[in-house]
Structure 1
Amino acid sequence: MTDAVPGIVLAGIVTGAAFSLHEVPGFGLFSPMILAVIIGILFANVVGTPQGSLAGIGVCQRNLLRLGIVFLGFQVTAGQFVAIGVSGLAIAALALSTTFFFTLFAGRLLGVETGLTQLIAAGTSICGASAIAAVNGVTKARDQDVAYAVAMVTLFGTLAMLALPPLAIVLGLDAREFGLWAGASIHEVAQVVGASFQAGPVAGETGTIAKLARVTMLAPMVLLLGVFLRGKTSDATARPPIPWFIFGFIAAVLLNSLVELPHWMRPVLTLMTSLLLALGLAGMGLKTEFTQIRALGARPLLLALTAAVFIASLSLMLVKIVG
């Protein structure tokens, strides 16, 4: 275990830098997870990741990242489904599931590698970098694929965060409609908050709840994907593992819904979630080189753009029809 210490320390330094940068004006709209993977990539390509740190980086990528997914469950309660209403939940669920499968189909048409397509589909439709990390626990995609998918979430989630508020004014959406649209279509929780609260507290609260409803759907989507991949693989030794950490996520959601946790514990759990997820994604960034990302070409970029436009358009249509 001692050979893992250098890598964990290095990932911790990157994570600390990400949390610090998150506090700088203008960078607060980006989650520490996104900042951690970006800083990790920059370090790996400018300074270079020492070989002696790879064991610890692997611990961050596997163990700590999965523990972070479990902790993510403490940010969601069953009551949030009730608060958003049947129509709001229907919008979030339909937008998520349809976008996920549309992106898989579009990726096949564009000739994008299957693992990368699945990561882009998850990041766009569910909850950004957290979903990419969780789905990668099943797909076992390459580190450069994870980094590329996170970069796409950052790019198009940020563009959506900036574009949706003025578009909502042009389209004449009220506060609740805009909140539902933002929560059902923008990639990251921080990006949803940044966009929806521009239209006031009603839009902000509605958008946040709609987004957290999408986060809750992470568990069934990852489980279904795991079952699907196991069914497609004939070699039992090569089958993707059952994502046991998702059951931990479900247990955390149930506990958070049924038990009144002390008020002081909630900010601690939220911080631990961000810390663990950032450590895992920092590890992925530290193992990613620009040459590997460039080698993926422009097709994944086109796929991520197509998926982002699709979920924004579909969510808007559903808000107008159902909301």
Structure 2
Amino acid sequence: MSKPNKNLIQKAIQIERLGTPSAKHPVHTPPLHKNIWPGVMICSFVGILCMIEGYFYPTISPMLLAVLLGVVARNLLPIHGALEPGIGVAAKRMLRWGVVLLGLQVSLFSIISLGWGVIITDVCAVSITFIATIFIGRAMGIDEDLVSLIAAGFSICGAAAVAGIQGTIKATEEKVAAAVALVVLFGTLMIGIGPLLIHLLGLGTGNGATLIGGSTHEVAQAVAAAGIAGGGTLLATATVVKLARVALMAPVIFIFGIFQREETAKEESKRPPLLPLFVIGFILMMVIATFNIIPKAIAFDIKQIQQFFLATAMFGLGLGVHVKSLRKLGFKPLLLGFFSTVIIIIVVLSSISLGLGAH
């Protein structure tokens, strides 16, 4: 006689206890519950600490610090498995909420007030840098998803643009973390390089603001660089120039999505969205900011929340980086980041030489 099958016995016991499954009384398997809060709380705590650091030491990017802390923690400390669901939420969902709220800082009327020269400069800086980075990265043989992430981050607005493109190509979190680390690293270097170039080239307030806002990767980094370069009018103008680049995130992702859909259609796979839902949210927030629907006092508080989301997400992304895996990327992505930074500086300086800077 054959040995009884354990699965059949367990099923018989289940039917005896619950009754025979039917349309009225089906047997349901309870979903596996994942508690996200431990991981979210840890990431949030570190995000707040990095924001506090940024308040006292504005030249040190809170996002760069958060990414580095995440990488160190992942590779030197034991990370309990119970934290993983929350870390995933911080790295993905909170990053996207940060992108949505970033739209509240972008007023289209303020951008138009800069004049068409600056708008043309920003469009050229974003489009030329994005396309050149794609071509150079592919020629270097770097992973295509990573190249797309770097191109977006370096040409548009750092981590927010990386998240926007990731929503279209569905890149892995490790590639997203690598791209963010590169863009924040080079953007932090620009805090010192921007003011130095202004001094060496003898640029005035308007052109200096155009250089910093048109070439620095993150909004916070542009603010820090402009503050060092002179503050006041230069700081205010550089911030708006930078936000004009941020506004270009939606159209760039839309156009990129069209080409991405054509490529995936050839492979008969599921087409990616032209615009991820959170990018649509970013556009709605821009509309709200443009028409001053939200009072300035509340908008300031929301800006702090937005920065909290991004700092928290950066730590979560850092926790997704395993140094052994990162080593496999090699030196090429770092070199591509250098090329991309040099390209955007050259494009902006060329525009300034043609009289397209802010006045």
- After TM superposition, the score normalised by the length of structure 2 is 0.84
Q: Does 1:259 align with 2:292?
A: yes
Give the count of matched residue pairs.
Answer: 321
Could you tell me which residue of structure 1 aligns to residue 28 of structure 2? Answer: none
How far apart are 1:261 and its partner, in Å? 1.9
The CA distance in 2 between the partners of 1:223 and 1:119, in whole Å, is 15
Q: Does 1:52 align with 2:120?
A: no
How far apart are 1:249 and its partner, in Å? 0.7
Q: Which amino acid aligns with 2:127?
A: S
Equivalent of residue 208 in structure 1, options 201, 218, 239: 239
After TM superposition, list the pairs within 5 Å mapping 1:105-124 onto structure 2. Answer: 105-124=135-154
The CA distance in 2 between the partners of 1:95 and 1:276, in whole Å, is 27
Equivalent of residue 262 in structure 2, options 222, 231, 249: 231
Of 194-203 and 81-90, deviating more is: 194-203
Could you tell me which residue of structure 1 aligns to residue 203 of structure 2? Answer: 173
Q: Which amino acid aligns with 1:202?
A: T
Identity of aligned residues (%): 35
How far apart are 1:19 and its partner, in Å? 1.9
How far apart are 1:85 and its partner, in Å? 1.1
Other structure's SS at 1:117 match:
helix
Q: Does 1:282 align with 2:297?
A: no
Two-structure CA RMSD over aligned residues (Å): 1.8
The CA distance in 1 between the partners of 2:311 and 2:238, in whole Å, is 24
After TM superposition, list the pairs within 5 Å mapping 1:104-253 onto structure 2. Answer: 104-197=134-227, 198-234=229-265, 238-241=270-273, 242-253=275-286
- Residues 219-260 of structure 1: CA distance to partner in whole angstroms, max 9, x if unpaired? 111222222212211356543344011111111111111234
Of 102-111 and 237-246, deviating more is: 237-246
Q: Which amino acid aligns with 1:10?
A: I
Q: Which amino acid aligns with 1:172?
A: G
The CA distance in 2 between the partners of 1:53 and 1:190, in whole Å, is 29
The CA distance in 1 between the partners of 2:231 and 2:96, in whole Å, is 35
How far apart are 1:200 and its partner, in Å? 4.0
In structure 2, stretches of 5+ residues that fail to align are 1-32
Q: Which amino acid aligns with 1:93?
A: V
The CA distance in 2 between the partners of 1:103 and 1:256, in whole Å, is 31
- Residues 57-108 of structure 1: CA distance to partner in whole angstroms, max 9, x if unpaired? 2222332222221111111111121221111111111111110011001101
The CA distance in 2 between the partners of 1:275 and 1:191, in whole Å, is 16
The CA distance in 2 between the partners of 1:4 and 1:299, in whole Å, is 36
Q: Which amino acid aligns with 1:222?
A: I
Could you tell me which residue of structure 2 aligns to residue 86 of structure 1? Answer: 116
The CA distance in 1 between the partners of 2:341 and 2:276, in whole Å, is 27
How far apart are 1:23 and its partner, in Å? 3.1
- Residues 143-189 of structure 1: CA distance to partner in whole angstroms, max 9, x if unpaired? 23222222222332222221222222222211101110111111111
Could you tell me which residue of structure 1 aligns to residue 48 of structure 2? Answer: 16
The CA distance in 2 between the partners of 1:281 and 1:224, in whole Å, is 27
Structure number having the greater helix percentage: 1
Other structure's SS at 2:175 match:
helix
The CA distance in 1 between the partners of 2:36 and 2:353, in whole Å, is 52
Q: Which amino acid aligns with 1:135?
A: I
The CA distance in 1 between the partners of 2:54 and 2:101, in whole Å, is 20
Could you tell me which residue of structure 2 aligns to residue 74 of structure 1? Answer: 104
1:10–1:19 Cα change, 3 Å: same
1:166–1:60 Cα change, 3 Å: closer
The CA distance in 2 between the partners of 1:30 and 1:219, in whole Å, is 28
In structure 1, stretches of 5+ residues that fail to align are none
- Residues 103-152 of structure 1: CA distance to partner in whole angstroms, max 9, x if unpaired? 00110111111111111111111111221122222222222322222222
Other structure's SS at 1:3 match:
coil
The CA distance in 1 between the partners of 2:34 and 2:139, in whole Å, is 47
Is the contact between residue 58 and residue 283 of structure 1 (CA under 8 Å) also seen in structure 2? yes
The CA distance in 2 between the partners of 1:67 and 1:139, in whole Å, is 18
The CA distance in 1 between the partners of 2:322 and 2:102, in whole Å, is 29
How far apart are 1:2 and its partner, in Å? 5.3
